[in-house]
Structures are given as structure tokens and as C-alpha cells.
């Protein structure tokens, strides 16, 4: 059950479709608290019909919204950021109740949501075009940027608030309406965005939020010709399906997909700093983020010391219900996540790995798992190729820089990577050699609204946040002005 909220209106069990709260659809979806297994809410199971209505409402609201000045849109977005901040505690409680992460992490995530909205309120006013020196004496060349049109967003359960912020804020800032489908495990944080937008005075129809079966809603979002852009955060597998579906009407796409993040520790690294960064880069959200370290690559000379310190630190992490004081590790999202973590450990141990911390389901039972550190990891293990998305830190060994780079890049993914060194030359060489969209040098947490977040290779297309984040919601128009 949920703690008493200061503003109980933020907990909604209805979809927002074109400014109306609706329970239409076929039945309801139970929302469970992963820490207790208790059902905390029931949300609608909307389908293609409801999605069509939301898209039509977005299309109808679009002309008036794009005609507003950038400043008018910025004023509303700033108000939205303020409303989020005012309700941060309630939103964090809802987030922990449906997702499981610690309250401290939930407060941080809601803070990031407000930060993204504020950032894009500012960027709304900086959508510059350009004039180009003309090759013709009697013509001018202008390049302008326009909103792409109706946006569809599909978001995951691991950051149920901030993944919406990264899409909703630039879309609205650019002048686009947006239809959002949050993950079915964590719909409440998504639906709360509807209330927040209403409280901020965002006009009806610009933001619709639909909960329900992914295939039905996703099929309509990617197939409907009124939708001009699909933005998705989730697995590479589902991203590929959405890319194929969006191809039918040649929609613009942004894809934030899976990762297989390496975390390299060179011999001369600052050990204290590396261990602190490693713990954050691995165990935040119990290992369930797309930029969480999946593979630790540790140089021979520092391997044993690093392993010992990691085991100590993992054993110190308090596991439990995220609402309790001092808890650092909440439950995993579902039993499938527990089983996958277990399977990666079993496979690694069968191939010569040795567990030096954790390794099992937690004695609390349910979806709780022990923070785990494993040594003697090798490329033959499943964990070398697949994202665990759980609290397992496997330590691979390497001899020199060239081998570390080869191992780090030996994956089809290219989202985030991290490395620790005190050698400035190495810092530059390795940063450039790593085939990743984001590199943390001597830092384990690098996400910020002011920098471009995104991946290369099969980790995605496009960037979210930073100065480039709004471009994904804009089209370029070239105007040739002749007869001058
Ligand atoms: P995760 O591993 O994070 O659950 P998924 O890619 O399975 O990642 O899910 C991310 C989001 O994509 C969720 O909102 C989910 O409901 C949605 N989704 C899953 N399958 C499909 C699909 N076939 N079409 C559209 N959306 C989908």
C-alpha cells in the first residue's frame, strides 16, 4: 500500500486522452509493489481505439501549439518544472511503490525530471536557423527549423518518470504534441505526468498518456500516419520491432536501446575512486539501468585489490524495501529479472567463475537479490555478451591497454562506458578508441540534462538532453528566396 500523499490526485487510475480522463479499454492492469507483491492500483488496459483517439486529439491541438511563440511555450514548461518540484516527495513515493528503487534514488529521479523540463524550457528559445552565403546574386538562402509534428513515446519501467521527461519536454518545447505509453509495470508515474501537465496549464490534447498492452498501443503509435515521430527507450529487441513498424510510414525515430557497458580499471587508477565509481555504476537501481556496468575489465596489477574492495563494498549495501531508511538496494522489477541474474551467475560459475560476494536470492525472499561480485570472468560466459540488468558485477582480467580496448569494444552495443586512469595520455587515447556514445573518465555517474545522452551501434539512434536533444523533434526547412 501507498503512504498518504500530500496530493492524492497524483495517483490516477485512468488514462489521459485528449484532455479527458478515461477508463475505456478491455479490463484493467494490476500494478504491484515489487517489494511486497501487493497490488497498489489498477490502471486501464487501453487499446488501438483509445490510441487513435489520443493521436487525433494531438493532431487537433498541434496547430495552435506550434503557432505559439517559443517564449509562451517556455513559460508553460517552466511552470511544469515548478509543479514537479513542488510535488517531488509524492512523486518519489509513487515511484518507489511501483518500481522498488530506494526513496533517495526516486527523489533524485524526480529531480532529474524537473531539470530536463527546465532545460528544454530554456532550449525552446534557442531554436536558431541560419542564412547561408548564396551562390546566386539574386537569391537568399534561409534554413529554418520547424516542429516535426505529433510524437509517440514508449518508455521503460526502470526510470518511469525521467524517461518521460526526456521526451515530453523537448517535444513540447519544439512545438509538438505527444502521446505516451509508459511501461505496464510502472504506469502510475507516467499517468501522474498527466496531472502535472494539467496543473501547469498545458493545453488539452497536447499530452495524452495511455496504459495497456504494448502490441496494440505500440502498433497504432508506429502505424498511424498522423504520427510523425517515434521515440523509444527500452530493449534493442523491441527497438528493432518498432523501427520496422515505423518504416511503413517513414517516421523519424529516436531509439535509446540496450547496453553492455564496460568499466575499465587500469593499474595506476585511484583505487578508492574506482571502487566508489564502480559501486554507483553497477548497483544503482539494483543494476537495472541501460548504462549500468555489465563488465568490469581490470588490469592484472590491480585486479586482486579491486576485487577485494568491491566484495567488501557489495556486502555493505543494505537490501530491502526502498521506503526504509538506509536501504540502497530495492527489489528487482519481477521474477524474470531475478531468474536472469541467477542464470548469469550459474553459467559463469559453470565456466570457472568464482563468487566472492552475494550470489543468491536474498533471505528477504520475493524479488530481492544479493549484490554479487564474481571473479575470473571470461568472454565465454553469457554475461560477457548479454545485459544482466541485475546486481551482478563480473570481473574480467586484462594485461595491457590494447587488450582492454579490444575487449571493451567486442560487443554489438555502444551506449556508456567508463574507465579509470591517472595517465593523461591514456585518458585521451582510450576515450577516442572506445566505440561508445558516452564515456566516463574517472566518473561512474555521468547523466545530466545538459549533455547528450545516447548510444552508437545497436544501442540506438539520436540523442536526448543537451543542446542536441531538441533537434530530434525538429525538421529542417531550406527556403530559397529568389527574384531579389
Ligand atoms: P524492458 O526490458 O526495459 O522491459 P522493453 O523493450 O521490453 O524493455 O519495454 C520497453 C517498453 O516497450 C515498455 O513500455 C513496453 O511495454 C514496450 N514494448 C514492449 N514490446 C513492445 C511492442 N511489441 N510494441 C510496442 N511497445 C512494446
Q: Which is the closest atom of ligand 1 to the Cα of 389? A: 2
C-alpha 234 – ligand 1 centre gap (Å) = 6
Ligand 1: nearest atom to the Cα of 157 = 3
d(CA 433, CA 55): 43
Kindly give the number of the ligand 1 atom that is closest to the alpha carbon of 237.
Answer: 6
> Can you give the chain as a three-state secondary structure string?
CCCCCCCHHHCCCCEEECCEEECCCCCEEEEECCCCCCEEEEEECCCHHHHHHHHHHHHHHHHHHHHCCHHHHHHHHHHHHHHHHHCHHHHHHHHHHHHCCCHHHHHHHHHHHHHHHHHHHHHHHHCCCEEECCCCCCCEEEEEEEECCEEEEECCCCCCCHHHHHHHHHHHHHCCCEEEECCCCCHHHHHHHHHHHHHHCCCCCCEEECCCCHHHHHHHHHHCCCEEEEEEECCHHHHHHHHHHHHCCCCEEEEECCCCEEEEECCCCCHHHHHHHHHHHHHHHHHCCCCCEEEEEEEHHHHHHHHHHHHHHHHHCCECCCCCCCCCECCCCCHHHHHHHHHHHHHHHHCCCEEEECCCECCCCCCCECCEEEEEECCCCHHHHCCCCCCEEEEEEECCHHHHHHHHHCCCCCCEEEEECCCHHHHHHHHHHCCCCEEEECCCCCCCCCCCECCCHHHEECCECCCCCCHHHEEEEEEEECCC
Angle between helices 70-86 and 162-174 (to 10 degrees): 160
Average pLDDT, the chain: 98
231 Cα: distance to centroid of ligand 1 (angstroms): 12
Q: Whose CA is nearest to atom 17 of ligand 1?
A: 214
Phi, psi of 374 (to 5 degrees): -130, 130
Residue of 45, 183, 253, 415 with the most ligand 1 atoms within 8 Å of its CB, for mutation = 183
How many CA atoms does the CB half-sphere of 54 hold within 13 Å? 31
The three grid cell numbers given for residue 476, joined into one nine-digit string: 529542417
pLDDT bucket at 2, cuts 50 / 70 / 90: confident
**In the predicted model, what is the mean pLDDT of residues 231-250?**
98
**Ligand 1 nearest atom to the CA of residue 241, by list position:** 23
Upper half-sphere CA count for residue 288 (Cβ side, 13 Å): 26
CA of 237 to the centre of ligand 1 (A): 9
What ipTM goes with this model?
0.92
For the chain, what is the radius of gyration of the CA atoms? 23
How confident is residue 278, by pLDDT bands cut at 50, 70 and 90? very high
**Nearest residue CA, atom 27 of ligand 1?**
214
Pocket of ligand 1 (CB under 6 A): 154-157, 181, 183-184, 214-215, 218, 234-235, 238, 241-242
403 is catalytic: no
Residue 3 confidence (pLDDT) = 77
Q: What is the pLDDT of residue 200?
A: 98
Mean pLDDT calculated for residue range 165-169: 98
Cα of 397 from ligand 1 centre, angstroms: 34
Query: Structure pTM?
Result: 0.97
Q: Tell me which residue has its CA closest to atom 2 in ligand 1.
A: 235
Q: What whole-number distance in Å separates Cα of residue 209 and Cα of residue 233?
A: 16
Task: Please identify which of the residues 109, 123, 220, 256 carries the catalytic annotation.
Answer: 256
Mean pLDDT of 234-246: 98
182 to 136, 278, 307, 432: CA distances (angstroms): 51, 30, 38, 36
> What is residue 221's predicted lDDT score, i.e. its pLDDT?
98
What is the rounded average pLDDT of the residues 5-24? Answer: 97
Q: Whose CA is nearest to atom 23 of ligand 1?
A: 215
Side-chain-side CA neighbours of residue 468 (13 Å): 9
Distances (CA, A) of 189 to 93, 104, 193, 458: 10, 16, 7, 28
Q: How far does the centroid of ligand 1 lie from the alpha carbon of residue 181, in Å?
A: 10
For a substitution probing ligand 1, which of 100, 180, 214, 339 has the most ligand atoms within 8 Å of its CB? 214
Which atom of ligand 1 is nearest to 181's Cα?
14
331-390 pLDDT, tens digit per residue, is 999 999 999 999 999 999 999 999 999 999 999 999 999 999 999 999 999 999 999 999
Mean of pLDDT values over 1-25: 94
Percent of the chain whose pLDDT exceeds 90: 99
pLDDT of 87-126, one tens digit each? Answer: 999 999 999 999 999 999 999 999 999 999 999 999 999 9
179-226 pLDDT, tens digit per residue, is 999 999 999 999 999 999 999 999 999 999 999 999 999 999 999 999
For ligand 1, atom 14, which residue shows the shortest CA distance?
183
Q: Kindly indicate the confidence band of residue 77, based on its pLDDT and cuts at 50, 70 and 90.
A: very high
pLDDT tens, 444-469? 999 999 999 999 999 999 999 999 99
pLDDT at 1 (0 to 100): 66
How far apart CA 275 and CA 210 sit, in angstroms, is 41
For residue 239, which atom of ligand 1 is closest to its CA? 6
- Compute, in angstroms, the gap from residue 14 CA to the centroid of ligand 1: 20
Distance 242 CA to ligand 1 centre (A): 9
Amino acid at each position: 500500500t501507498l503512504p498518504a500523499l500530500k496530493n492524492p490526485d497524483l495517483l490516477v487510475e485512468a488514462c489521459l486522452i485528449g484532455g479527458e480522463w478515461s477508463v475505456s479499454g478491455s479490463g484493467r492492469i494490476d500494478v504491484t509493489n515489487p517489494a511486497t507483491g501487493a497490488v497498489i492500483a489498477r490502471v486501464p488496459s487501453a487499446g488501438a481505439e483509445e490510441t487513435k483517439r489520443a493521436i487525433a486529439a494531438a493532431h487537433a491541438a498541434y496547430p495552435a501549439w506550434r503557432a505559439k511563440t517559443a517564449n509562451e511555450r517556455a513559460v508553460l514548461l517552466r511552470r511544469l518544472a515548478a509543479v514537479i518540484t513542488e510535488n517531488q516527495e509524492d512523486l518519489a513515493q509513487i515511484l518507489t511503490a511501483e518500481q522498488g528503487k530506494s526513496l533517495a534514488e526516486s527523489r533524485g529521479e524526480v529531480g532529474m525530471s524537473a531539470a530536463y523540463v527546465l532545460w528544454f524550457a530554456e532550449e525552446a528559445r534557442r531554436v536558431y536557423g541560419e542564412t547561408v552565403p548564396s551562390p546566386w546574386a539574386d537569391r537568399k538562402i534561409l534554413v529554418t527549423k520547424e516542429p516535426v509534428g505529433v510524437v509517440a513515446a514508449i518508455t521503460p519501467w526502470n526510470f518511469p518518470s525521467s524517461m518521460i521527461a526526456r521526451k515530453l519536454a523537448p517535444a513540447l518545447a519544439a512545438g509538438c504534441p505527444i502521446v505516451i505509453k509508459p511501461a505496464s509495470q510502472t504506469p502510475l508515474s507516467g499517468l501522474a505526468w498527466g496531472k502535472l501537465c494539467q496543473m501547469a496549464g498545458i493545453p488539452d490534447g497536447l499530452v495524452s498518456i495511455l496504459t495497456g498492452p504494448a502490441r496494440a498501443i505500440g502498433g497504432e503509435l508506429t502505424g498511424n500516419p498522423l504520427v510523425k515521430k517515434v521515440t523509444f527507450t527500452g530493449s534493442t529487441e523491441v527497438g528493432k520491432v518498432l523501427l520496422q513498424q515505423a518504416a511503413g510510414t517513414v517516421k523519424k525515430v529516436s531509439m535509446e536501446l540496450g547496453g553492455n557497458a564496460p568499466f575499465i580499471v587500469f593499474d595506476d587508477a585511484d583505487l578508492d575512486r574506482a571502487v566508489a565509481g564502480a559501486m554507483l555504476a553497477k548497483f544503482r537501481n539494483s543494476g537495472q539501468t541501460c548504462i549500468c556496468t555489465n563488465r568490469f575489465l581490470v588490469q592484472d596489477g590491480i585486479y586482486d585489490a579491486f576485487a577485494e574492495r568491491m566484495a567488501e563494498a557489495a556486502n555493505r549495501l543494505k537490501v530491502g524495501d526502498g521506503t526504509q531508511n538506509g536501504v540502497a538496494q530495492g527489489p528487482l522489477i519481477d521474477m524474470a529479472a531475478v531468474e536472469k541474474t541467477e542464470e548469469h551467475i550459474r553459467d559463469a560459475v559453470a565456466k570457472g567463475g568464482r563468487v566472492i560476494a552475494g550470489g543468491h536470492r536474498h533471505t528477504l525472499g520475493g524479488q530481492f537479490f544479493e549484490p554479487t561480485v564474481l571473479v575470473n570472468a571470461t568472454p565465454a560466459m553469457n554475461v560477457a555478451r548479454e545485459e544482466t540488468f541485475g546486481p551482478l558485477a563480473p570481473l574480467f582480467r586484462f594485461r595491457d591497454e590494447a587488450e582492454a580496448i579490444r575487449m571493451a569494444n567486442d560487443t554489438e552495443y555502444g551506449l556508456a562506458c567508463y574507465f579509470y586512469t591517472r595517465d593523461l595520455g591514456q585518458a585521451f587515447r582510450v576515450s577516442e578508441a572506445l566505440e561508445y556514445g558516452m564515456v566516463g573518465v574517472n566518473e561512474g555517474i555521468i547523466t545530466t540534462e545538459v549533455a547528450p545522452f545516447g548510444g552508437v551501434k545497436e544501442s540506438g539512434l539520436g540523442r536526448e538532453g543537451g543542446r542536441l536533444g531538441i533537434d530530434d523533434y525538429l525538421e529542417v526547412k531550406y527556403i530559397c528566396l529568389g527574384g531579389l
